[in-house]
Structure 1
Amino acid sequence: MTFSHMAMDRPLRILILEDTPTDAELAQRELRKAAMVFVAECVETRETFLKALDTWQPDIVLADYKLPHFDGLTALELLRQRSPDLPFVFVSGTMGEEFAIETLHRGASDYVLKGHLSKLGPAVVRALKVAETQYRHRLAEQDLFKSRQMLRTVLDTVPQRVFWKDLASIYLGCNQPFAIDYGFASPADLIGKTDFDLVSFELARRWRAEDQQIMANGQPHLDIEESYTKADGGQGWRVLCKAPLRDQQGQVTAILCTYEDITARKASEARARYLVYHDGLTELPNHLLASDRLQQAMAYADRESSKVALLFLDLDNFKTINDSLGHTVGDKLLCEVATRLGQCVRDTDTVSRQGGDEFLIVVPALHDSDASAPVLDKLLQSIHLPMVIDGHELSTSVSIGIAVYPDDGQDFESLMKKADTAMYQAKDAGGNTYCFFDKQMNDDVLENLRMRSGLGHALERDEFVLHYQPQIDLNSGALVGVEALIRWQHPTLGLVPPARFIPVAEETTMIVEIGEWVMIQACRQVAIWHRAGYSKISIAVNLSAIQFQRGDLEDTVKRALAQSGLEPSLLELELTESILIRNTENILTTVRQLKQLGVMLSIDDFGTGYSSLSYLKRFNVDKLKIDQSFIRHLATDPNDAAIVRAVVQMAHSLGLRTIAEGVEDESLLNDLRAFHCDEAQGYYFARPMPAQEMTQFLIAAQTSRL
């Protein structure tokens, strides 16, 4: 039960505790004389009194002192337990003055003797006003308490430290985090102390000087960053703000200070600055710092007439390790490599990680290029030693490319490109070695780039042409087939042979589109010759391993046969041994699908790869093409002659035909006939020629035997 203020839109509710109805009526009459608007409820027992308090909720209680079964003091105690502010006025005829004062001490609002009821109206008004004031005061105290509790909670939970001092720099208070920072259990323990009790004499004197300056000029000091010693002895950083506190007259009476510990932020900023120039995994200098170190080394080399070696390192089998054992093992391996690299170089050298499994080393102050050889050997040996990572014994190696300043370039980017080029040469040499850059490498790179750029548009610009080389039956001398050989009519380089652009086409997988174009054009051309009445010659087309891996080869062959109308048996697909030995089951499936189409299959450059009799059986080939490296010295090298004779005999025993390539003179032709080789092609018969010239060759071949 709470007391509400007097300003109400209803009659005043008065609870009267009186056992004499006449006295109750007299009291009400006096209140009406005082112009009060009210309703009254009269009770005379404890039970009815409590019930009225709960259900009727009066605004004031008027009570007699003595009743037959109840008394006013007990009623007052019961009321104060429920409502500390509700007005309670004694109205009695027997209460003495001394006892009346006692009732006031116990919480009564006032008392009126029944013989002086004219004073009841003013007493009621006075009691209501006092109760209203007490009620408001209590609400204000509650609000103040809540505000103080909220402020204390905020002060003790915010990350900022808050404290305030008087004009003598004596601590008046602080929040809990500040107290803990300086080794105090609670803020109360700090009150009355000075800075000299907390920090060193010099620091305390500086803080007091700052306080006095703020007191003197009344200006705050904001966002002051400073280092400080924590209670545990550790060093930290904080940002400090101090501001004056003023009284109603505007005079400075105290100083409010706050600070926030920014040690973690400072550490993060320092780490961020560090990572601008360092690799986060290995802690080595990164690309940016390596560039700066190289610039310094080049400047030194210019002054001392010395050289600088830039080493580009790439692990040889890191991807296999990373993919099979996971990135955690891969990262630990890179860290171990970084450690070993650092152990192999001088303090003046710079080891840098570029990303992935690539590293750079700047080796300054060299008298000549060969002076880097000892560190290169050391690097190769160190990285090649086994490494135990998470229980796995791992073996790896490194390929190193070297570019030298000023011989190979004048700036970081050019030297890095050339070192990268040399590194790939080391890779091509089998890895675990190093290679110095030379001009021919650069020419090869530029050539490769030129090929890549041109190949991207060669098909759409119709720059490819097919040349055809005749294939002759050695028994009859008849022309039995032609091999389609692609040429690139480059707009500036002229006619480019396949050896220059096919490897690039395979690197970029453009060989799939180019191979499809060759297949369709070759089938179309030989079908034209057939319809023109020339003999039923076959057409041989070379296939790349990439076409098996990336292209839909079976669909390409079907489309070429359908568009040209060529009989499948007159299309011969030349496979290299390297195609047959990789991913054998998938290759075998594709080869069987091609054989089901009715095309012929031959093994190109037989004897130069990993020759195996088993795949001759499994892949159901029709012909072996003996590589020209065995044919060229057939007449002068007994070993070549023995190899050719053995290949022909083996092929015939397996039911396969043989064809020799690179036949350039009649003596070779005679030897091949003596070995019973079935077919031959080469410059002795004709060089590869465009379709128009091949047409003329076909006309001549109809009337003669070669």
Structure 2
Amino acid sequence: MIAPAIPGGETLRAFASAAGAGVLVVDDTGTVLLSNEVAQVLLDRTGEELVGAVLGFPLTPSGVSEIDVVGGAESVRTVDMQVTATNWENERAYVIALTDAGLRKRAVRRLADSEERFRAVFEQSPIGLAVLDDESRFARVNNALCRMFGYTRSELERRTLGDIVGSDSLPADEKLAQELSDGQGTGYDLERSFVTKAGETRWARFITSVMSGSADGHPQVIASVQDVTERQETDARMIRLALHDELTGLANRTLAMDRLQLAQARADRNGAFVGLLFLDLDGFKAVNDSLGHAVGDALLMETARRLRSVLRPSDTAARLGGDEFVVCCEDLGSDAVEA
């Protein structure tokens, strides 16, 4: 309910009615001319009790100040007050905006509690965590990330993501980081190589998301970084084992067939010949039977070494199994005799 003391002031009435804060309009003597419902609740008085009353508020226009007010039931409440000069029916007046200081203080406490929880999770996480600014600079890092990269906190917070990730992936990462800082993306999940302070190249999974509400108004990016070097190395070993002979390190039958098909396809396009050589070791079974499998294995490995030593980088030597080998030589020219 809006309770005016005198007619007029329609603009102030509309403002007071729509305001989310308590609003009082008082004249030069401090007499209340207008109050809105929020002010009536804050001061624990009805509109009729407030209008015409002199509340004794300081009438000096200023910033927000905190004062204690006595309600209708003699209860004391702390409010935030801001005074602004205005006109009411061509007379000097003041608008007093009131908000519950308790609400503000509780909000501040909740924010502080939330920040404390975030800080605890951030610092104690076993996964590397970082907050990046809009220039991809490390604005905040945790201990796990420092250990992973090998830098102290102060050293890392002077660097950018581009100083850490491998140079081969830097252009793509800078583009993604720029999209995030421009508000064009929501985050990404990528695996990238990085270089530690000691110069070691390792691999990590970077998961990022945009974090709004920074103090300077610019978007920030929070990143979780998990070292996946061991998994990358395991994957590479598995792929190698799937395509190479475990004993000799040469290509296996699967990789040899793939290389041969590619060589034939290229030969069809450029007209060059492809050479294919099959070979085995005479008397290999006798070596195995008389001298043992260890010597037989050594013979196979030496054969593989010698094949690699005489082949071009573009050629493929493979072990098909046992003592059987195949060599694929492509791009031998278009002259059949020379090939």
Q: TM-score range by the shorter chain?
A: 0.3 to 0.5
- Please give the TM-score of this superposition, normalised by the length of structure 1: 0.25
Q: TM-score, normalised by structure 2?
A: 0.46
Greater relative contact order structure (CA < 8 Å, 6+ sep): 2
Name the one with the larger strand percent. Answer: 2
Structure with max Cα Rg: 1
